[in-house]
Amino acid sequence: MNVEEFWNLAFIAAMHRLSPAEAEIEANKALDIVIKHWQSTHGDLKPVWTPFAQQRLSEIYRQSRSSDQGAGEAADKS
């Protein structure tokens, strides 16, 4: 499954219970979570250029941002 396929499915799933704007936010959160998961399983990475939407989820390397710190905790409290 690539990024585009995953995001589309996450968005459609969220649309069953949320407004379109909220579903977009939820799909973005789900994508971020799955990227973090697969990134944590990578050992030795080799950079390869592929359009983002076509990348396989298990092949994404995402650099952490300072805004990632505690982001899940803030979402849980709201």
* Distance of alpha carbon 23 from alpha carbon 69, whole angstroms: 23
**C-beta separation of 14 from 64 below 8 A:** no
pLDDT of residue 54: 75
Nearest Cα to Cα of residue 49 among 33, 61, 37, 32: 61
Full-model pTM: 0.56
**What does the pLDDT look like over 36-48, one tens digit per residue?**
887 777 666 666 6
* Distance of alpha carbon 48 from alpha carbon 38, whole angstroms: 16
